[in-house]
Amino acid sequence: MRIYGNRLIKTLPGELTRPTSAKVREALFNIWQGEVMGCSWLDLCAGNGAMGAEALCRDASIVIGVEKYGKACKIINENWQKIGSHQQEFRIIKGDILKVLKNLDRQEFDLIYFDPPYQSGLYQPVLELIVTHQLLNEEGEIAVEHNPKFWQATVIKGLKISREKNYGNTSLTFYRI
């Protein structure tokens, strides 16, 4: 898989992770183009780590990823080590997303990308935890990737939908405080 700057990253073989399509990845970074440099980025359900890698390539200051699969974490770490610079802080956390978010209590992020398995049932509880544990700074934004067939964007107490974009079967819903 190639990311920003025509950089090649490793990916896991098979269907264990579902990478964000190049079209959606490009669209998101076009939307957030003025906000990534110097930001703190949280990549939830990081999969193959492509979104965090893109953020590192575009000079995010901090990139933290959460992924439950150990093999995926190993590949993400390898990719981020190749891409990240000594001025950037980055790490991948292996674990259950609902438990990990509770341990990130009050660590604020500027941009949060959330792309769970579409039929996981994680959307509502994760978004609620982000609010409860104050993980999004006041000026920050969350982008939630989903397939509208499996999950429809809903109102979350403490968040408002700021915009929605559709790319074929994939949608991005953006939330702000």
59, 35, 41: which is closest to 109 by C-alpha?
41
Give 94's strand partners: 67
Q: What is residue 1's predicted lDDT score, i.e. its pLDDT? A: 45
Dump the DSSP string for 38-79: T-EEEEET-TTSHHHHHHHHTT-SEEEEEES-HHHHHHHHHH
Q: What is residue 2's predicted lDDT score, i.e. its pLDDT? A: 47
Q: What is residue 5's predicted lDDT score, i.e. its pLDDT? A: 53
Q: What is the DSSP pairing of strand 7-8 with strand 40-44?
A: unpaired
CA 73 to mean position of chain CA atoms: 14
The answer as to CATH 3.40.50.1970 being correct for domain 20-146+166-176 is no
pLDDT tens series, the chain, 177 aa: 445 554 566 666 655 556 778 899 999 999 999 999 999 999 999 998 989 999 999 999 999 999 999 999 999 999 999 988 999 999 999 999 999 999 997 799 999 999 999 999 999 999 999 999 999 999 999 999 999 999 999 999 999 999 999 999 999 999 999
Q: What DSSP character marks residue 138?
A: E
